[in-house]
Chain A
């Protein structure tokens, strides 16, 4: 009980204290602003270094479904002086399969408050690759990141591998059994014949 009497005022006090604190700024913006308009965590988040830039990329909302609107947010700062990139960024999409070169342009965006936002809506479930593309200092910058729309395939790489291996082993075993049986029958025929 004593504990409760001391905890409650402390809790209230800390709450009032917090309201007066300014938001921490990371990436040159309030930390939570990059995920504004989103009550859910991002479905994916990529932080990477490429060439002269440090890139942060997020896709909202989490667990995207077909026919549900989503948004990509990208933020790029120079590694040497931390200045945000200000040119145009184009966003493209393609199916995440080997040797697929067919891309579709989602849009070309300019920075608003240093953040690039690209809205999208996919009709079909599947794995996609989003490509953010910009040019700086005469060099092209390409950032690829995966995006899952809808439920992922029930079998991952391990499931597929186990399935393929089982198929090989069982098929070979059945074929071998049949072959051995044929040999036995042939041998039996040979033994009977004079």
Chain B
């Protein structure tokens, strides 16, 4: 049983909040565990400035989370001996996947900022997120990792399989 909703923010909150609350390790921030990054255009790393840039066909794998994009900038910091992502900016043909949750997202840009605990998918056209038979589309989808709430900006659509939610 499927229903379509337009600009239904309540469902956006439930849907996105449920999807992304557990994507990121520790729920609220990126904590670097086992990471593998491949790219075709080389990297630039500033050990002192704690910044890294990856170019051309970037493919990042963090456990079963996978991010592909054209260009990726990461700044990181050390907190109590652990390397944590301070901010992240992925641009160009951004595709996020998490196999264990059948999750896939497409956008032009993805940004993460540790200070605001916000994850933002944005596109000139539509950002699209699929989880199984559920999917949603909107130009900008902002996820507040602190509260677990998500906000969709601009017109969008959501399609939820209610049988799955039961």
A binds B: no
Residues of B participating in the A interface, judged by any CB pair closer than 8 Å: none
Residues of A participating in the B interface, judged by any CB pair closer than 8 Å: none
